[in-house]
Amino acid sequence: MPQLRQTQQLKQQLKLTPNQILVQKLLLLPVASMEQRIKEEIENNPALEDISEPLDEPKEEVSENENEDFEKENRDEDYDAEEFMEDNDEYVPAYKMASSNYSAEEETRESSFADTSSFQDSLKFQLGLKEHLNERQQMLGEFIIGNIDDDGYLRRDLYSIANDITFQQNILTDEKELEPLLEIIQEFDPPGVGARNLQECLLIQLKREEHKSETTKLAMRILEKGFEEFSRKNYDKLRELVNEDEASLKDAVNEIIKLNPKPGQSYTDATTNANQVVPDFVIANSEGELEASINGRISANLRLSPIYVNMSERKKGMDKMQREAASFAKTKTEAAAGFINAIRQREDTLQQVMQKILEYQQDFFTSGDTGKLKPMLLKDIAKATGLDISTISRVVSSKYVQTNFGTFLLKTLFSESFQKESGEEVSINEVKNIIREIINAEDKKRPINDDALVTLLEQKGYKVARRTIAKYREQLDIPVARMRKEI
């Protein structure tokens, strides 16, 4: 039997302090999320104050000596903690419980929320307007609506839905009973809702036309008889199926293209406010001199509450309740100080990284020509700043930079290098731009395939494999040549 022994080992471990963890989390946040994070911290920590002034009021410059005198005056003030607690409702023995940390004199601010209904709620409302439906039919119709996805499609078959109703609602039903209800739902707005596939969705929209023209009737025939050829853009075979001339076929195809393949998204787009892009960095060009700065909205003018600072420093002549209040104030003050320090570190890191990116891509920020973007990797900026590559990744994530010629996602400025036949190294963005230009200038009746792109790029001095071109084309959201063909 082996003997048990105790040994000592010396190991080195890297552990992040709570402040370092907070800084890393804040680095990930873009400007809009950062503002919300600061508001939440102010609401949760009464020792943290926002002393930023309104935009229409000019700020008075305060010298360092005046600021020190102000802080000294607040520290030396003869402050009575017991009197303060009597005058404020939040300082009662139950302060540790959930309560508001604001005085009664402070203004109560309530956030307003828009009362918006969902896509399914809109369909249920339209179903409720069908007075000829009885209670059972209303319930079955609502169950069908509950299976319609955000695109407006009913992806499940009626047989499976009928089984679910039987087991979940204990109501015996079948496809024959559900089919008429689905047809009623398909009459609702937006047009095309409740379709089981793309073909049915497009047909529903065409059938809604009150006065069907010859072009609309031809479009319906195309979808009914030659949907497969239409989806593959095999126009020669499609023209044989419908027995129409090229001009009529072109008009009908254009009418189909104008239809909405995802009707549910139209409702979502109409009721959901688009997110506004707020730049995290600003590049200013003053007579050829570029200067990088952090968006001023990030930097919140925060300070420690003088009242809480005084309470946390007061130690003598206090009873038990006052000591508890002082301990509470000290905890909140330390947390607020740590948060302010984390914001300052975040801003210093953002400024340092953006400055190096500006120096690296100076030609691009001067001209605005994406073709002048140099190959740049995260490790290049990490080496230039002396920061870890994970820190650079956090800085770049979801951040935008505003320039004189547009606002760009910071991540798009990073790219790998590509070596031309001449030996010159360029960014792969340059290759992508050339591919986009070639495809934009192609004859849409005879679109250029990937094999032809290989030859054209080689003529320009870019030797790129067909597989690589296909990858770049997909990254540019450009479909294959067959899907780009037009009549």
Q: Of 371, 398, 413, at which residue does a domain stop?
A: 413
**Last residue of a domain, which of 413, 440, 455?**
413
Do 313 and 391 share a domain, yes or no? yes
**Average pLDDT rounded to a whole number, residues 217-239:** 88
Of the candidates 37, 19, 48, the one whose C-alpha atom is nearest the C-alpha of residue 297 is 37
In the chain, % helix, strand, coil (3-state, to 5) comes to 55, 10, 40
Torsion of CA 133, 137, 139, 143, to 10 degrees: -120
Residue 325 and residue 387 in one domain: yes
DSSP structural state of residue 415: B
Q: Is the pLDDT of residue 114 over 60?
A: no
Q: Of 190, 211, 246, which residue is a domain's last?
A: 190
Q: Is 42 domain-assigned?
A: no
If pLDDT is split at 50, 70 and 90, which confidence band does 486 have? confident
Same domain, 302 and 394: yes
- Residues 292, 339, single domain; the answer is yes
Domain that holds residue 178: 119-190
For residue 118, how many other CB atoms are within 10 A of its CB?
12
CB 271 within 8 A of CB 116: yes
> What's the average model confidence in pLDDT over 343-372?
90
Q: CA 385 to CA 370: how far, in whole Å? A: 24
**Residue 462 predicted with pLDDT over 50:** yes
End-to-end CA gap in the chain: 87
Q: Cα dihedral angle (28, 31, 36, 39), rounded to 10 degrees?
A: 110
Domain annotation covers residue 186:
yes
Q: Which of the given ranges, 30-44, 101-115, 179-193, 461-475, has the highest pLDDT on average?
A: 179-193
Q: Among candidates 300, 307, 314, which has minimal Cα distance to 333?
A: 307
Of 189, 228, 225, 218, the closest CA to residue 205 belongs to 189
Same domain, 286 and 403: yes
As given in the structure block, the two tokens for residue 373 are 């973007």
Q: In sequence order, what are the beta bridge partners of 148?
A: 154
- At 14, is the pLDDT very low, low, confident or very high (cuts 50, 70, 90)? low
User: Does 367 reside within a domain?
Assistant: yes
Q: How far is CA 81 from the centre of its chain?
A: 47
* 393-449 pLDDT, tens digit each: 999 988 999 998 889 999 888 888 777 777 777 778 888 888 999 999 888 888 899
Question: Residue 384's closest CA among 414, 413, 355?
Answer: 355
What's the confidence (pLDDT) of residue 485?
81
- Kindly state whether residues 207 and 182 are assigned to the same domain: no
| pLDDT of 383 | 93
For residues 292 and 357, state if they share a domain: yes
Q: For residue 11, is it within any domain?
A: no
Place of tokens 């004859």: 443
Are the CB atoms for 306 and 73 separated by under 8 Å?
no
Same domain, 173 and 222: no
Residues 382 and 366 in one domain: yes
Kindly report the length of the chain: 487
CATH number at residue 430: 1.10.10.60
C-alpha 368/C-alpha 399 separation (Å) is 18
Q: Are residues 239 and 298 in the same domain?
A: no
Q: Is residue 68 part of a domain?
A: no
Beta-sheet pairing, 289-294 with 302-304: unpaired
For residues 275 and 299, the answer to whether their CB atoms sit within 8 Å is no
Domain presence at residue 21: no
Residues 436 and 402 in one domain: no
Number of independent structural domains in the chain: 4
Domain co-membership, 334 together with 380: yes
Q: What is the pLDDT of residues 61-74, one digit of tens each?
A: 444 555 455 445 44
In a domain, 475, yes or no: yes
- 344-368 average pLDDT score: 92
Is 78 within the bounds of a domain?
A: no
Q: What is the pLDDT of residue 96?
A: 41
Q: State how far the alpha carbon of 144 is from the alpha carbons of 113, 152, 188, in Å.
A: 30, 12, 13
| Bond preceding residue 190 cis, omega within 30 of 0 | yes
Tokens of 206: 């065409």
Q: Is the pLDDT of residue 177 over 90?
A: yes
In the structure, what pLDDT confidence band is assigned to residue 105 with cuts at 50, 70 and 90? Answer: very low
